[in-house]
Amino acid sequence: MYLLTGVLQLSLLFSFVVDVTSSQCRCLYGQPCWPSQSEFSSLQNQLSQPLIHPVPPASPCYPLSHPSGNCTDAQTNQFDGNWRSNQSGSMQSPNFETFIFDNGSISACYMNTTLGVPCGQGSVPNVGIDARSVEDIQAAVKFSVKNNLRLAVKNTGHDYLGRSTARGSFMIWTHHLKNITYNSTFVPEGAPPTELYKAITLGAGVQWHEAYDAAQAQGRALVGGMSVGGSVGAAGGWVLGGGHSALAPSYGLGVDNVIELKIVTSTGEYLTANSHSHSDLFWALRGGGGGTYGIVTEVTYRTHPSMPLTALYFVANSTNNDTFRTLFTEFVRIHPNLSDSGFSGYAFVSSNGIQIFYIGLNVTQAQANKTIDPFFSFAQNLTSEGLNIATALTVPYPSFYSWYTSTSSIGQQVGSSDELASRLVSRDVIERNHRGIADAVLSLNSSGWLLVAGGAVAQVDPDSTGLNPAWRKALVHVLWGTGWQEGTPFSEIEQLRAVVARSLTRVSELAGSSAYFNEASMFEPNPMNTFFGSHYSKLKAIKNVYDPADLFVVTEGVGSEDWDASLNCRR
C-alpha cells in the first residue's frame, strides 16, 4: 500500500496566508481577530487544567526550535497508537498533522530529521484545553462561539479523514475523560423504573483496551472496535459514525447498542439524549457522525453475556495469479453462508495473498469445522496449482475478550501517512456477482475485507437510528487506500490520490456508492448520499436545532456542504 517517495522540494511558510474579510469566516490563529492574552487568561480562570499548546509529536527531535521533549521516545513510539493518543498534537496518521498550501508547499514536522526540513506546526492547533470535566468543555465551547473560532475536537486522533485537527484552530482535547462505570440496573434518564439494562458508561476519553478490560471484570462482553493495542476511542467518533465490530453481526453495530449519550451543544447546554429525552438528537447521534452536533462527554452501552467462540485462521498466497483469483472468488462466494453460520471478522487481501481472522460467536469448533472444511478442501485442491497454505485451522476461545487480547497486538496500524477509500458491499451484490466483486477487490492490490455486517445488523429497522440505511443491507465493508513516506512532494501525493479515486469509481460501479463514515475517502463526489443516504435531510434539520452557531463542522460531515473546501468560510 505504501509507495516510495520522490525528491523533497518544499518551500515552508511560517505565517498564515489570510483571505478573511467578514464574519462569514472563522477566526484563525495569527489573525487580528484571534483572542488576546487577557481573553485567554479569562478562559483559563474557568478551567480545571492549564491551557495546552499542542505541538507535532516529532518536535522534540528539533531542539533548536523545540528545546523540550525526548526525541528517542518519539522515534521509538511513533507507531504506537496509545503513545500517539497521549500526545495532544498527534494524529494516528501523521499526514493529518501536516498542512498543504495552495501552491503545493507543505508545513510539517517530520520524524525523519535527515530531510533537512524545519519543524512546522502544520495542521496542529496552536492552543487548546485539556478537558477534565463537563464545565471545562462548556467554558471552551462558549469561548469558541463568542470568538468565532475554528474548533477542533480531538480524543485519540484515530481519524482517517483528519476531522479532529485543523490548522489555526482551537482544540478541545477530551482524551482524559476516563470515567468508567458499570451498572447492572441502569435506568435511562426519563425512562420508567422497569426499563433496566446491564450497562457500562464510558467517558469520551476511554479507549477500547480500557473498555474491554472493564467489561471483562464484570464478566460481560461489549460491542467495540478492533485496533492494534486497542487505542481507538470507545465513546467518540467510532460510535457516532456507526461503530463496526467483529461482534456486530451477533449484537448489532455500536449505534445499535447505545442506551444513552450526554453532550455539550454549541449553546453550552449539557443534554442527555436517549429514547425518552431529546430523542431526535439521540436518533441523529447514532450514525450522524462525530464532530457534528456537539461534544459527547459519555456514552452508555448495553453489555452482553460473555460467550465462547471459535476463531478461524487462514493464511495463503500464490505466485500464480489465476490460482489465487480462483481461491479468492470462492472465498467471496461463500460469504452469505459464512454469515448465516455465525462468522464475522477481518480479512486482509493483496493481489496474491490473504490473511483471515474470523470468529464464530457461540459456535463450537465442531460447528465451525463443518462450515469451513469445504473451503479448506477447496484451497487444498489448489496447492497442485501453486497455492501455498501457511495456516488453515480453527481454535476455540472461552470468550471474545480472550480472542481479542490474543490478536490485538498483531501488526502496525498507525504512524504512517495514508488515505483511505471504502465501500459497503451488500449481500445481494455478492450473491449476484461474486466474481465481479472478487476481481474488483483484487485489482486494489491491498485491501481490508471486513465481515462486520449482516446478521443482527440487518435485523434492525433502517430508520430507527440516523445511520445510513445501506448498512442494513450490507454484508462486507471493503477498504483500501494509499500511503507515502515523509517528505513526499504534493505533486506525487496528488498522483497517488488520483489512483485511489479511479479505483473508487470502479468498485462503485459494482458495489454502489455507500460507505462507512469513519473509514472512507475525503474526496467523495457526493458525500451526503454516500455516508447518510436517505437520512441526510433529517440529520441536517436536527443539526440546525442543536448547533445554531454552526460551530461543529468536519470534513464531509452533515452541514459541511455549506462551507468552502477549507471549512473556514461559508459558501
**pLDDT tier at 283 (50, 70, 90 boundaries)?**
very high
- For residues 358-376, average pLDDT: 98
Gyration radius (Cα) of the chain, Å: 23
pLDDT in tens, 449-497: 999 999 999 999 999 999 999 999 999 999 999 999 999 999 999 999 9
Which residue in 233, 226, 211, 101 sits closest to 164, CA to CA? 233
pLDDT in tens, 539-556: 999 999 999 999 999 999
Please report, for residues 110, 486, 488, the alpha-carbon distance to residue 114 in angstroms, rounded to integers and kept in the order given: 9, 11, 14
Asked if residue 482 lies in contact with residue 447, where contact means CB atoms within 8 angstroms, the answer is no
Flag the least confident range among 53-67, 285-299, 333-347.
53-67
Strand partners of residue 199: 183, 302
Tell me the longest C-alpha to C-alpha distance in the chain: 76
Give the Cα separation of 59 and 44 in Å (integer).
25
**pLDDT tier at 305 (50, 70, 90 boundaries)?**
very high
Query: Could you tell me the three cell numbers for 499?
Result: 489512483
- For residues 513-535, average pLDDT: 97
Give the Cα separation of 563 and 571 in Å (integer).
5
Q: Report the C-alpha dihedral over residues 467, 468, 471, 476, rounded to 10 degrees.
A: -120
- pTM value? 0.94
Q: Please spell the DSSP secondary structure of 17-56, one letter per residue.
A: -----STTB-B-TTSTTSPPHHHHHHHHTT-SS--B----
CATH number of 309-531: 3.40.462.20
Which residue in 372, 378, 375, 377 sits closest to 343, CA to CA? 372
Which amino acid makes up residue 124?
A: V
Strand partners of residue 387: 318
Say whether 13 sits in a helix, a strand or coil. coil
pLDDT in tens, 246-255: 999 999 999 9
CA angle 322, 328, 333 (to 5 degrees): 125
**pLDDT tier at 7 (50, 70, 90 boundaries)?**
very low
Distance from the Cα of residue 440 to its chain's centroid: 24
Cβ atoms within 10 Å of 193's Cβ, excluding its own: 7
Strand partners of residue 484: 3, 417
**pLDDT reported for residue 460:** 98
- For residues 496-504, average pLDDT: 97
Strand partners of residue 244: none
Domain 180-305+533-562 in CATH 3.10.20.600? no
Which residue in 213, 239, 209 sits closest to 226, CA to CA? 209
Domain ranges of the chain: 41-169, 180-305+533-562, 309-531
Flag the least confident range among 15-29, 114-128, 309-323.
15-29
Q: Give kind and range of the element (H or E) at residue 353.
A: strand 353-361
Asked if residue 278 lies in contact with residue 262, where contact means CB atoms within 8 angstroms, the answer is no
